[in-house]
Structure 1
């Protein structure tokens, strides 16, 4: 049995039209790619490794199997590159063959490598790479040093801050609160003098008498006097996928010790009016960034970035995860990069009454629970090795009527946020495919199959088969439709604005510039803003034709969906039908990731 499902990966990339930092595709139709060493070493430097596939070409226009020039030579080339062209040697996982569309491709699993061996460098130029949204990313020397500092147990928080003084630069009330908690738990130091107590509890450095970095950051009057980048910068963006150069909305920079930074950042987030996001999840994400950021010398030039878009909240902090991987978050024993700072912050609350550290054992678990209780997808965590991002997605709230309807379904108490929204979408007459479920909610293939199978097992959905795959132009597609009475009650407004579901991962800005998104070509059709009644197929056809008729340029599915208010589940069959009737046509090859639609010229 194959470990790597190559056809599934190709189908997912075709459907989403986005790059995956955990997967690398190379054509290899005429030989090994020149940057193979960069790709393998980049995966080796990532905490969870990745998958490399030879024999698949992917660019802005297509994603298709082209095969490898020589199967045996490709397999040997992978092993030779890992052993001879990268230092230290990279241990490869399984190398497998798969036939896709009549072509043989070679796939290779690069498993997580021991962290104490990083960084892995290419031997030809000594460069260090990691994987990012645009492929391989070469680290600067400062970033390489930050990566090296993640090895072993960090001690940077204990370093003295030269020039800082206890009485002048620390807030006495915060220091006293922390010291009292430490003395209560450590009876042996109660009889010591105050200065020794402060040294023993890491408030002061024993040799210089200066406050430690942790103490200044947690208790300082103005830590940024000595460490200017221990700040939080915030801004909002007007759209989910902004063009490069889009002006920032309400940009701010906050200073002060950790509790003040927490208060100011939470207050700023509140001004963005995110009613869907539970306050508990927001506080946990920001607190984690403040307390677990990398304090090593190379990372002190970096700041925490908080960004709000219509799709949700992004919190990015310097340094990758320490001591565990993304898949272990909430499932393994907690580890902290800055244990002294953590202890200090656990004893204090902000002036607004927010605890800096919530329940130590429930952090990520409680974040997930609060989002689930709000009917939202769980948080997404992205470990970029030199930065760590927490993404909290928002979705339109389900109406009270829809929640009542959901509560009446069998097994409703166990439904995930994706399942709830999918059922409401199907209640409005839509169909959901395995691939659209993955795309809309950015879940992996196994999660999508499991959650759809659960709905099937509970008798909530039925399976249909479409004559063609309307999403990728392939021969067949399985779709799911509601199996129970889904007629909305009279007068009930639609719970969700169309499109019914949007991909959470597409809602967040990333640290590297994205390709500019095309501007809408026309205003929304007045007919698209009607009530919640079901539209006939003729009405859907007319909406699409009207929008394309008014458009200046060919349009993507997403643009058509936004302007017609048809969800993708309603739109995809409509586009297929209009193509069958030769009323609209593709502007790109059928398998293109950049597909556009236009009216057929008569």
Structure 2
């Protein structure tokens, strides 16, 4: 066992849920037991590497030392060593290769590889539980005249009504602004948080602290439809209340709407609920990283044919995992700004920007699932936090056609909804299904167990995915449209089929898998190949 293992142990220590390393298999020979492997010597080396060090001792290969569960097992009668690496607590990260140093030797696991983090990502890992002071920093070159007097007046009026003790003893507006963190008490200059919340034009001092918006015509940024790379784009700046309102408006003008009868009238309902969009924008600008290293990054709002993505600079802060952010807890990287935004109103109404009560994500979840949409999805990447809101309901015509094509014995509504989610999201856990459908854990578990027993899905380590399902002889309308598109003799990729049929790539993939499994069509390359295309079998 050589030093090549150290980056992997660092990566698993820094990655959510850790990971497992199996030592003693020969990858080049197809993961068969390695010849002359000394399992006990390997165990001894791992134990020595991970043992506590006395302050006077030379540091170990990894700093801080990783936490591992080490045991010997057998594969095909030969010994191997299995090391389960436990994710380090947030306050102890990052784990790095000692000889490389923290900035060059910190890794995370992405896919099947170890990814070395850059300086900014290392900084993010190092400050996961340390509140930022960036929002309280005075802004050099600014003056109180750079603050919006009308917005200041409305904010102070609200404060007198909602938190009169915050104003006790103050004799001027400037004293009030210093007390609530809008102005630095020592220098008299506006703070970063004060300019962002109440400034006339904060981008005069920080050009990139804005929201960029773009609409892409394809499934990802690389897709070009005709000559069109972007269908719409905008730069949204100003104070935070204005940026949020403008960003919501930009998204809404690019969404489809449906007409819903309400009482004796009717109203237009957008594909994604307005409340969910607004919460996503508010969370992004309130909780993003405003440290000096991140001030060159904007919040990015990107609309695709099937989803809305909101990218916020900075990882998920506070030492929480994705599963824990649904509990309604409130933790703020930017404590002063988050508190201030609970009193700052929007330009055209008395509603304030935020609540600082941990209600944003639960509200987003309720807005989405209450409108028949999948729950919001979140991802914490090395340098950013991403929120994804899907544009269409689970049971759209495409999905219903796909479900009908699966055949089999009758299924419950919960089982069909679980299949629809897997058709769209690729994988699910019991807890994720419970949140998506707002059902009890027992009901979610029973539905997944039944689908496993029926052969529709498979479970590995508590994560459920679609099995390779063979289609029934009778083609569904969606499957028939694929066959018809290929009947002319064309050989088409999934993206070409998507453009020709007007269906999403995610909707087509399971249909193509079923058609290939049944022999109705042929694939020209393995599933992992980017050149994989489809054709009618040659006779």
What is the TM-score when the length of structure 1 is the normalising length?
Answer: 0.67
Task: Select which of 220, 229, 243 maps to 2:208.
Answer: 229
Matched, 1:344 2:340: yes
1:114 maps to 89
**Residue 43 (str. 1) matches residue 27 (str. 2):** no
| Among candidates 366, 371, 376, match of residue 368 of structure 2 | 371
Which moved further from structure 2: 390-399 or 333-342?
A: 390-399
Deviation for aligned residue 1:553: 4.4
Residues 463 and 136 of structure 1: CA distance in aligned 2, closer, same or farther (over 3 Å): closer
1:162 counterpart (124, 128, 140) = 140
Question: 1:304, CA displacement in angstroms?
Answer: 0.6
Structure 1 residue aligned with 2:154, among 177, 193, 197?
A: 177
Query: Which deviations, in whole Å up to 9, do the C-alpha atoms of 1:368-417 show, x marking residues without a partner?
Result: 11111111111111112421111112225757xx9xxxxxxxxxxxxxxx
- Superposed, 1:587-598 pairs within 5 Å as 587-588=525-526, 597-598=534-535
Q: 1:328 aligns with which of 324, 330, 346?
A: 324
Q: 1:597 to 1:301 in 2, by over 3 A?
A: same
Alignment of 1:511-522 (within 5 A): none
Do residues 85 (structure 1) and 81 (structure 2) align? no
* TM-score (normalizing by structure 2): 0.74
Q: Residue 140 in 1 paired to residue 128 in 2?
A: no
Distance in 1 (alpha carbons) for counterparts of 2:490 and 2:400: 36
Q: CA shift at 1:282, angstroms?
A: 0.6
Shift of 1:283: 0.4
Once residues 397 and 438 of structure 1 are traced to their aligned partners in structure 2, the CA distance between those partners, rounded to angstroms, is 10
Q: Is the 8 A contact 2:525 2:531 kept in 1?
A: no
| CA positional deviation for 1:570 | 5.6
Match of 1:394 in 2: 391
Is the 1:170–1:221 Cα contact (8 Å) retained in structure 2?
yes
Structural mapping, 1:1-16, within 5 Å = none
Q: 1:116 to 1:192 in 2, by over 3 A?
A: same
Larger RCO (CA under 8 A, 6+ residues apart): 1
* Counterpart mapping for 1:138-287 below 5 A: 138-166=116-144, 168-184=145-161, 185-187=163-165, 189-194=167-172, 195-243=174-222, 247-274=229-256, 275-287=270-282
From 460, 463, 474, the equivalent of 1:536 is 474
Distance 1:38 1:351 in 2: 51
Q: How many Å separate the matches in 1 of 2:497 and 2:32? A: 31
C-alpha contact 1:40 1:82 (8 A) present in aligned 2: no
**Is there any run of 5+ residues in structure 2 with no aligned partner, and where?**
52-59, 257-269, 409-414, 459-465
- Partner of 2:326: helix, strand, or coil? coil
Are 1:129 and 2:113 an aligned pair?
A: no
Per-residue deviation at 1:151? 4.2
CA distance in 2, matches of 1:456, 1:149: 37
User: CA shift at 1:257, angstroms?
Assistant: 0.7
The separation in 1 between residues aligned to 2:371 and 2:519, in whole angstroms, is: 39
In the other structure, the counterpart of 1:19 is none
After superposition, the CA RMSD in angstroms is: 4.7
Mark the runs of 5 or more structure 1 residues left unpaired by the alignment. 1-30, 403-420, 470-476, 482-498, 500-533
Aligned residues, how many? 484
Alpha-carbon displacement from aligned partner over 1:311-345 (angstroms, at most 9, x marks no partner): 21111111112212211102152111112111221
- Partners of 1:592 and 1:75 lie apart in 2 by 38
Equivalent residue number for residue 578 of structure 1: 519
Give how far 1:362 is off: 2.2
Contact residue 178 and residue 344 of structure 1 kept, 8 A: no
Deviations 1:7-56 (A, max 9, x none): xxxxxxxxxxxxxxxxxxxxxxxx66x6432232223234x243234379
State the 1:577 CA deviation. 2.9
CA distance in 2, matches of 1:53, 1:457: 32
CA distance in 2, matches of 1:191, 1:456: 58
| Partner Cα distance (2:448, 2:122) in 1 | 53
Is the 8 Å Cα contact of residues 394 and 421 (structure 2) preserved in structure 1?
A: no
Q: Deviations over 1:401-460 (max 9, x none)?
A: x9xxxxxxxxxxxxxxxxxx9777535665699999645333435458989994896899
1:155-187: per-residue Cα shift (whole Å, max 9, x none)? 221111111111x10011222333344455243
